[in-house]
Structure 1
Amino acid sequence: MTITLLLVGKTDNAQLQNLAAEYQNRLSHFVNYKVDVIPDLKKTKNMDIALQKEKEGELILKKISTSDFLVLLDDKGAEFTSLKFSDWIQKRMNSGLKQLVFVVGGPYGFSEAVYKRVNQKVSLSKMTFSHQMIRLFFTEQLYRAFSILNNLPYHHE
C-alpha cells in the first residue's frame, strides 16, 4: 500500500519541514509514504471564498484516481485515539487497498465536489491548527500508528 499526504500549499517553515522529514524517513521502513504539494493559488486576495475552494478542489481531484481511498483531514471527521488509528490503518492494509490518500485542504476547507468524492473524513483534533503544523502532526501520528502495529517502544499507553 502507498500512503500519500496531499497538501494544498507549501510549508515554508524550515523547522517544521525538518521535523516532518524525520518522521517521513522513519515511515519509509514500514510503508511507501509520499507527500504531494499542490501550490497555493495565485491572486486570491480578491477571490470569493467559494471560488477559491472550488479551484483548489479541482486541483485536488486532478491528483486523485478513481481507485484511491480518499480521506480528508477535516475538523468534522471521525476522531481516533492513536491505538484506534493504528487499527484503522491495519484494516485499510488488510483490505488490499493500493492507494490511501489523506488530504489537507486550503485555508477555507474543501469544495462540495471534494466532499462528494471522499471515502472518509478524519479529524486530528477539534482545535484548528495551521496547515504547516498539520503536516507534522499527521506524519508523526502515522509513524506512531506503524510503531504500534510493529510493537516498537515508541508509543506508551
Structure 2
Amino acid sequence: MMIKLLAIGKTDSTHLQELISEYEQRLKHYIKFELDIIPDIKNVKNLSEVQQKEKEGEAILKRLQPTDVLVLLDEHGKQHTSIEFSNYLQKKMNAGIKRMVIVIGGPYGFSEEIYQKAQGKLSLSKMTFSHQMVRLFIVEQIYRAFTILKNEPYHHQ
C-alpha cells in the first residue's frame, strides 16, 4: 500500500517543515509515502466559504485515482489511540488497498462532493490545531503506527 497525504497550502515554518521531512524519511523504511501540497486558492477574499471549499475540492479530485481510498482528517471523524490507528492501517493493507489518500482540508473543511467521495474520516483530537501542525502530527502518527506494527521500541505503553 502507498499512503499519500494531501494538504492545502504550504508550510510557512521551516522548523515544522524540517520535522515533517524527518518523519517522511523515516517512513520510507516501512511504506511508500508521499506528501502532496495543493497550492493555496488564489483570490479567496472574493470567494464565499462554499466557493472556496468547492475550488479546494476540485483541486483534491484532480489528484485522485479511481481506485484510491479517500480518508479525510475532519473534526467529526473517528478518533483512535495510536495502537488502534496502527490496526486501522493494517486492516487497510490487508484489504489490498493500493493507495490510501489522507487529506487535510482548507480552513473551512471540505466540499460536499469530497465528503460524498470519502470512505472514512479521522480526527486527531477534539482540540483545534493549525493545518501546519496537523501535517506533522499525522505524519508522526503514521510513522508511529508502523513502528507499533513492527514491534519496534519507538512507542511505549
- Paired with 2:95 and 2:57, the residues of 1 have a C-alpha distance of 27
Deviation per CA, 1:88-113: give whole Å up to 9, x if none: 00011111110010000001100000
% identical equivalent positions = 57
1:140 corresponds in structure 2 to: 140
- Paired with 2:56 and 2:23, the residues of 1 have a C-alpha distance of 27
The equivalences for 1:64-143 within 5 A come to: 64-143=64-143
- Paired with 1:113 and 1:59, the residues of 2 have a C-alpha distance of 12
Cα deviation for residue 32 of structure 1 reads 0.3
Q: Does 1:61 align with 2:58?
A: no
Structure 2 letter corresponding to 1:7: A
1:42 corresponds in structure 2 to: 42
Segments of structure 1 that go 5 or more residues without pairing to the other structure are: none
- Secondary structure of the residue that 2:46 maps to in structure 1? coil
TM-score, normalised on structure 2? 0.98
Runs (4 or more) in structure 1 with deviation over 6 Å come to none
2:33 corresponds in structure 1 to: 33
* Number of residue pairs aligned between Structure 1 and Structure 2: 157
TM-score, normalised on structure 1? 0.98
Deviation per CA, 1:8-53: give whole Å up to 9, x if none: 1111110000001111111000000000010001111131111000
